[in-house]
Amino acid sequence: MSMKMLTATIVATTLSTAAFAESHAQTGNPMVGGAAMFPEKNIVENAVNSADHETLVAAVKQAGLVDTLMSPGPFTVFAPTDAAFDKISDESLSQLMMDQNKAQLTQILTCHVVAANAMSDAIAGMIADDNGMHAVQTVGGCVLQAKMAGGKITLTDEQGRVANVTIADVKQSNGVIHVIDRVLLPAM
């Protein structure tokens, strides 16, 4: 390849990438896991494209929650990354993904879902209104404690484990996703 062709290829690739980033910026959504998140797609349609949420997507499929999370909602999903699932031992995660443990997996996953469309500014407002800590009732029956730390939302599960919202306000056609760095667990 000549230097002129190589330069043309690099320029074309750069312009294409810049055009994609600009067009994605117009959606008002952040990128997640290296993928565009489109507000006209539902939670499942967007999540399957995130390279950071492969374990979550597999767990949602195993638990039989795909149809639920594709329904009109609205839902707020606190979506743990693959790195968050990596904090669970391989043995525990493998057991959780077994057919006989589907009920437990479903409860854990639904403890990451709220039956509302709660953007981060609304959550922050509720935290402020409740003197620094707001109880969040999940679809799975768990109660998470939302707080602010360093200008970001944190969630404490029923075992006292803290997850940080690392990417907020990823709009979906049926709600919103907030990416978190820890898997939330119900009281055992």
Q: Give strand pairing partners of 162.
A: 156
Encode the chain (188 residues) as per-residue pLDDT tens digits.
444 443 343 333 333 333 344 334 555 788 788 888 888 988 998 998 888 899 999 999 999 999 898 898 899 999 999 999 999 999 999 999 999 999 999 999 999 999 999 999 999 999 999 999 999 999 999 999 999 999 999 999 999 999 999 999 999 999 999 999 999 999 87
Nearest-CA neighbor of 133 among 153, 159, 150? 153
Query: Which one, of 181, 174, 142, 162, lies nearest residue 46 by Cα?
Result: 174
Sketch out the chain's domains with CATH numbers: 31-180 (2.30.180.10)
3-class DSSP state for residue 113? Answer: strand
pLDDT at 140: 93
Which amino acid belongs to residue 132? G
CA gap 185, 112 in Å, rounded: 9
The structure tokens listed for 19 are: 């055009």
User: Whole-model pTM?
Assistant: 0.84
Q: CA-CA distance, 119 to 177, in Å (whole number)?
A: 9
In whole angstroms, what is the distance from residue 64 CA to residue 52 CA? 20
Q: Are 37 and 25 within 8 A, CB to CB?
A: no
